[in-house]
Amino acid sequence: MSTIPAPDHGRPMHGFTEIDNTGETPGKRSPLVLGVKDFGEVTATVCRPNELRKVPMAWNIMFALSMLLVLNLGFVVHYLIFTGVGVWGLNNPVMWAFDITNFVFWVGIGHAGTLISAILFLFRQKWRTGINRFAEAMTIFAVICAGIFPGIHIGRVWLAYWLFPIPNQMAMWPQFRSPLLWDVFAVSTYFTVSLLFWYVGLVPDLATMRDRAKGKVQQIAYGLFSLGWRGSNRHWHRYERAYLLLAALSTPLVLSVHSVVSFDFATSQLPGWHTTIFPPYFVAGAIFSGFAMVVTLAVPARELFGLKNLITLRHLDNMNKVILVTGCMVGYAYGMEFFIAWYSGALFEKFAFMNRAFGQYAWAYWIMVSCNVITPQLFWFRKIRTSIPLMFVLSLFVNVGMWFERFVIIVTSLANDFLPTSWDKFEPTWVDIGTMLGAFGLFGVLFLLFCRFLPMIAIAEVKAVMPQADPHWEGWGHSHGAGASPAAAHEPGDTK
Amino acid sequence: MTTLTTTQTETKTIAPARLNCLLAEFENPAQIMAAAEKVRDAGYRYWDCHTPFPVHGLDGAMGIQRTILPVLVFCAGAAGCTTGLVLQLFTNSFDFTVWAMVWVTGYPFLISGKPALSIPAFIPVMFELTILFSALSCVGLMLLMNHLPRLHNPLFTCERFRRASDDRFFISIEARDPRFYRSKTEAFLKSLGASAVEAVVED
């Protein structure tokens, strides 16, 4: 058995395969799929984790841990509801802390999924096909986690329906001039549209699962959710239009969601919040943290479930480049905030920023700066961008840094506002920490279930970007048009 | 006992199930493209291609007309935008009473001295509802126009057809097509280079 020979990039090879597809040679196109020679192998590779009789031990351990955290979440949320928001460490000036930090953090995580699925689709970035499915799943689960926090933070949760314009005998309506209400609409629309987008993408792959399913239960379950999809080209035609439209609709949506979230702060009068840079700065930060989370999830998932041929080093390298770019934007925003605070000459504004860097929460500020500004700069180096362990560790740093960013923005601005007599210090209680960890557990459980029962990679989309999918493709022996891969000049083979 | 069983089997073979369509299998996108062009030119109307992924150029090869889905989605988006505006004007700017299943009354809030008719503040919700209505109608209409969800189709009785979602490409010509003659159509499909042609029956 021969292997697919390497293209003559003259670069060293990295680990799992003989082809280095992290760079482009002019005139040739690096393949997006490695070591898989036909469509059937793509199907088999993606479906294998779902069809395993025994799940990997690592999955079991992670699931057990996540489940424990979910139980803990159930407990702390019940404790909160039965006792009142006093169980959190909130005090008079600091009435938002961990809850809103977590909300903004999780909504932000979701943004990478929509960016990959919608914006990269519009830009015809074909490498998105390898990672869009689980990035979109991540979006949905992250928004579910985000949704918990405003829900439990309103205090009287049994009146949560007041958030929605429901006709009632009191002629009592939501106040539509408040950004907090815009948030309700933005986040619920975002969740609905992301779910639709994800599900529409899943339908053809669920049909694949249905057609492969051996057991009765699987056949019925996948059969129901695949809606009777039979790959009809008349259907594909409308399907592709609908998919394009959803991408076009999601693109402004994803930019609007975190802008609206930032309005919660930016439209207030508080020094440190009342800035016009917030919407773009929040969106860049959201994409930054979201991509870090995709890397955090993709690295173990591809190792564990044997997806290295479909989520290649090129995909990871590209994501690390996005982290680098958005990391630079975030760093720029930090600097610009300081500059504007100084340039405005506003006393309170200047104080708010000096207080962030050198006040009672200076430690949090410097964690944020080192994780979000310094860490991504390491991705300038190709060696680091293509090193699996390093990128995993760096992505964790970015996750931590972005959580602290939200904490710093929210808590430092509230704790030390205009009047020194009203200053106070926020300290999280065990309930605060338990809720935060619980949300990570919920996210973990949902994501692990997704890995077990749904195809982690968009099977149909990956097939469509393979050179073989081009009707003008003439076999590995011919190098023809856009479909040609660097391996195309050689005989086929598998990387056994 | 034995005779009875034999009779039952015989009855089945004597009265064959009604033919639904002929299914031809192809190995790769190039083959199905060439075949689809010929089926189109032969003048068949009730026929289809089944592929594991959308094959580029197959729409043209089949002569599929462009869908009007985008126009409908635009209308739904406009409806969403209007809904957002009317909802906010009604609930926050005026005190009309209207009947919408029950009598409901608007309430002109006075919030930090902002005008009752503060359109700029209403833009985010109008935008969100535009997107929401468009996306919901986009997916809903796409499924509706495709006659999905449909839990059964005669094609699913065919074992070979399972690979339509994996790595094989199929053309089906329905028996209700005016140009359909079983023997002629079968020979035609074979002449297109199909690796197999199979009859799919109604059930």
Tens of pLDDT, residue by residue over B183-202, are 899 999 999 988 889 989 88
pLDDT, one tens digit per residue, over A316-341 is 999 999 999 999 999 999 999 999 99
Q: What is the mean pLDDT of residues A169-179?
A: 86
Chain B residue numbers with beta carbons less than 8 Å from the beta carbon of A279 are none
Residues B90, A400: Cα–Cα separation, whole Å: 44
The pLDDT of residue B5 is 45
The pLDDT of residue B37 is 92
The pLDDT of residue A477 is 59
Partners of B170 in beta bridges: B25, B50
Consecutive H or E run containing B183:
helix B182-191
Residues A214, A217: Cα–Cα separation, whole Å: 9
- Residue ranges covered by each domain of chain A: 39-154+194-465
**Angle ∠(A184,A109,A256) on CA atoms, nearest 5:** 45
Give the CA distances from residue A43 to residues A207, A240, A454, A474, in Å, rounded to whole numbers and listed in that order: 12, 20, 13, 22
- Mutate which of B27, B44, B131 to disrupt the A interface (most A C-beta within 10 Å)? B131
Restricting to B residues 169-198, those with a Cβ less than 8 Å away from any Cβ of A are 170
Residue B11 in this model has a pLDDT that exceeds 70: no
Q: Can you say whether residue A385 is alpha, beta or left, with left for phi > 0 and alpha for psi between -120 and 50 degrees?
A: alpha
Tokens, residue B118: 């503060």
Is A484 in contact with A26 (CB distance < 8 Å)?
Answer: no
Query: Residue A110: what residue type?
Result: G
| Range list of H helices, B25-106 | 29-41, 58-62, 69-92
Biggest alpha carbon–alpha carbon distance for chain A: 79
Q: What is the mean pLDDT of residues A480-496?
A: 40
Please classify residue A334 by burial: count the beta carbons closer than 10 Å to its beta carbon, then call 0-12 exposed, 13-18 middle and 19+ buried: buried
Tokens, residue A399: 């996750």
Better-scored residue on pLDDT, B56 or A24:
B56
Minimal CA–CA distance to A491: which of A32, A30, A2?
A2
Chain B residue numbers with beta carbons less than 8 Å from the beta carbon of A260 are 124
Strands B19-26 vs B47-50: parallel, antiparallel or unpaired: unpaired
Residue A481 in this model has a pLDDT that exceeds 50: no
- Mutate which of A232, A259, A268, A462 to disrupt the B interface (most B C-beta within 10 Å)? A232
Q: What is the mean pLDDT of residues A34-51?
A: 85
| Chain-chain contact of A463 with B53 (C-beta, under 8 angstroms) | yes
| Chain-chain contact of A230 with B107 (C-beta, under 8 angstroms) | no
Residues A392, A381: Cα–Cα separation, whole Å: 15
Interface A–B counts its CB contacts (< 8 A) at 215
Tokens, residue B98: 């209207």
Name the phi and psi angles at B202, rounded to 5: -65, 155
Q: What is the mean pLDDT of residues B2-25?
A: 63
The pLDDT of residue A478 is 54
Residue A91 in this model has a pLDDT that exceeds 60: yes
pLDDT, one tens digit per residue, over A216-267 is 998 999 999 999 999 999 999 999 999 999 999 999 999 999 999 999 999 9
Chain A residue numbers with beta carbons less than 8 Å from the beta carbon of B157 are none
Mean pLDDT, chain A, whole residue set: 87
| Chain-chain contact of B48 with A232 (C-beta, under 8 angstroms) | yes
pLDDT, one tens digit per residue, over A107-118 is 999 988 888 888
The pLDDT of residue A428 is 93
The pLDDT of residue B17 is 75
Residue A486 in this model has a pLDDT that exceeds 60: no
DSSP state of B192: T
Nearest neighbour of B105 by CB, restricted to A171, A182, A256: A171
Residues B196, B21: Cα–Cα separation, whole Å: 14
Chain A residue numbers with beta carbons less than 8 Å from the beta carbon of B111 are 175, 177-178
pLDDT, one tens digit per residue, over A420-437 is 999 999 999 999 999 999
Start-to-end CA distance of chain A, whole Å, equals 7
Chain B residue numbers with beta carbons less than 8 Å from the beta carbon of A248 are none
Residues B14, A294: Cα–Cα separation, whole Å: 60
Residue A285: HSE in the Cβ half-sphere, 13 Å Cα cutoff: 35
| Chain-chain contact of B109 with A177 (C-beta, under 8 angstroms) | yes
Is A446 in contact with A141 (CB distance < 8 Å)?
Answer: yes
| Chain-chain contact of A207 with B165 (C-beta, under 8 angstroms) | yes
HEC letters along chain A:
CCCCCCCCCCCCCCCCCCCCCCCCCCCCCCCCCCCCCCHHHHHHHHHHHHHCCCCCHHHHHHHHHHHHHHHHHHHHHHHHHHHCHHHCCCCCCCCCCHHHHHHHHHHHHHHHHHHHHHHHHHCCCHHHHHCHHHHHHHHHHHHHHHHHHHHHHCCCHHHHHHHCCCCCCCCCCCCCCCHHHHHHHHHHHHHHHHHHHHHHHHHHHHHHHHHHCCCHHHHHHHHHHCCCCCCEHHHHHHHHHHHHHHHHHHHHHHHHHHHHHHHHHHCCCCCCCCCCCHHHHHHHHHHHHHHHHHHHHHHHHHHHCCCCCCCCHHHHHHHHHHHHHHHHHHHHHHHHHHHHHHHHCCHHHHHHHHHHHHCCCHHHHHHHHHHHHHHHHHHHCHHHHCCHHHHHHHHHHHHHHHHHHHHHHHHHHHHCCCCHHHCCCCCCCHHHHHHHHHHHHHHHHHHHHHHHHCCCCCHHHHHHCCHHHCCCCCCCCCCCHHHCCHHHHCCCCCCC
| Chain-chain contact of B104 with A167 (C-beta, under 8 angstroms) | yes
| Chain-chain contact of A165 with B91 (C-beta, under 8 angstroms) | yes
pTM for this predicted structure: 0.89
| Chain-chain contact of B142 with A242 (C-beta, under 8 angstroms) | yes
Chain B residue numbers with beta carbons less than 8 Å from the beta carbon of A230 are 50, 153, 155-156, 161, 164
The pLDDT of residue A92 is 87
The pLDDT of residue A116 is 86
Strands B102-105 vs B97-100: parallel, antiparallel or unpaired: antiparallel
Distance from CA of A369 to the nearest CA of B (A): 32
Tokens, residue B130: 């535009």
Name the phi and psi angles at B54, rounded to 5: -65, 120
pLDDT band per the 50, 70, 90 thresholds, residue A19 = low
Q: What is the mean pLDDT of residues A8-35?
A: 60
The pLDDT of residue A4 is 36
The pLDDT of residue B14 is 54
Residues A32, A215: Cα–Cα separation, whole Å: 33
Is A391 in contact with A385 (CB distance < 8 Å)?
Answer: yes
